Amino acid sequence: MQRKVIITCALTGAGETTDKSPHVPITPKEIADSAIEAAKAGAAIAHIHVRDPETGGISHDPALFREVVERIRESETDVVLNITAGGGGDWLPSEKDPTVGGSGTDIQTPEERHQPVGELLPEICTLDCGSINFGDQIYMSPTDWLRKQARLIQQSGVKPELECFDTGHLRFAKQLIQEGLIDGDPLFQFCLGIPWGAEADAETMIAMRNKLPEHAHWAAFGIGRWQFPMALQSVLLGGHVRVGLEDNLYLEKGVLATNGQLVEKVTSMLALLGVQPMTPTEARQHLGLKDPYGG
């Protein structure tokens, strides 16, 4: 077990959660403010999606990402930026013609998924390493698209966070490494408890950890009520931590949380194990990230 770990806060996500909690940030200002709140509470990394400021729904608008990033970078609070590059993968077949997408389908090309990353150059971006039945829809990330996206990320100099929602995703991520498309020590994120991917339990996390390549960094998260158990399990197994309103809305049963409160809670829980959160500077050094401030 490490004595210092990286805490990532996933701020808002793209799910239909804004009507379930008033604390889910929607506008660029709210998202940036939430990132700063989380950083002050102990998060080293802020994982960023954006939403349509008018509807609260999913958005991929590079201008919204730019406003969030600029607000955070112009603040006096340091935090490592991790921009999603996994949007635009939702597929729901039309009831009339299953060969075309129905209502709710939202597909982007690899180039479109990469656009905010290529323009803003955060320290980290996500790379969702495969397709999956995601609830009642399909998340599409075909292997040829992933290879193309990995090359774009590699050319930009941004570190990919290899998101694995199932064991096959981990297997393909290792294939990307073998093909020379991932530079440096790889960074993995185990995404547990998503219907219908890998389960949120110790056995699954151990199995995935044991399949990691040499010199890999890794973290794990569970959704909903599994957020805190999986956070502690990850640390006990040598990994890092992710919490945040993208994955869980509650501080405890019936009590809605802010991102800062979720980070504070997991920080307090880790303290009982003698584990401290890394600072953003320590996280950059640990993961081999570029310094956006030129230090």
Question: Does 266 reside within a domain?
Answer: yes
- Is 292 contained in some domain? no
The β-bridge partners of 89 are 107
Which among 137, 34, 57, 49 is positioned nearest to 85, based on CA atoms?
A: 49
Instruction: Tally the domains of the chain.
Output: 1
Residue 162, classified by CB atoms within 10 Å of its CB into exposed (0-12), middle (13-18) or buried (19+), is buried
Return d(Cα 240, Cα 205) in angstroms, integer. Answer: 12
pTM for this prediction: 0.96
Residues of the chain with pLDDT under 50: 295
pLDDT at 293: 59
Q: What is the pLDDT of residue 292?
A: 67
* pLDDT at position 229: 98
Does residue 294 fall inside a structural domain? Answer: no
Instruction: Give me the pLDDT at residue 240, please.
Output: 98
What range defines the domain where residue 55 resides? 4-287
Mind listing the pLDDT tens digit for each residue in 46-89? 999 999 999 999 999 999 999 999 999 999 999 999 999 998 99
Instruction: Say if CB 204 and CB 175 are below 8 A apart.
Output: no
CATH number at residue 201: 3.20.20.70
